[in-house]
Amino acid sequence: MVDRKEIAHLGDLVKVDLKEPEKYIQQVDQILNYFERLDRVEYNSDKTLRKEVSFESLRDDKYEQFQSDGKPLIDYLKKDQNNFVRAPKMI
């Protein structure tokens, strides 16, 4: 089990001021338990870890000109504050 001292030390390492380290003890404990479960998973070959795709099944990579009514592509993108372009969240 993780204790308050270890959480405070972890906060120091990542340069984060944790005002209430006790709040994170359960969360870190759950993460470590999950890694223990992953360590117990048995697999017999690399085939279970990856899926190979044949070169022939991939689509051709073709350049297509953006079709517009004279406006540049940047004008069609969603923008945030200070005119930054918003990209989709990475999951």
Q: State the alpha helices, DSSP H only, in the chain.
A: 4-13, 22-39
pLDDT of residue 37: 93
**pLDDT, tens digit (0-9, with 9 covering 90-100), for 31-78:** 999 999 988 887 776 666 677 888 899 988 888 877 778 887 777 787
Where do the domains of the chain lie? 4-39
Residue 81: pLDDT band by 50, 70, 90 thresholds?
confident
Tokens describing residue 5: 């001292």
Kindly report the CA angle at 89 between 76 and 64, in degrees rounded to 5?
A: 40
Q: Which amino acid is residue 77, in one-letter code?
A: L
Averaged over 19-36, what is the pLDDT?
88
Q: How many CA atoms lie within 13 A of 15 on its CB side?
A: 0
Q: Which residues contact 6 (CB under 8 A, 6 or more apart)?
A: 28
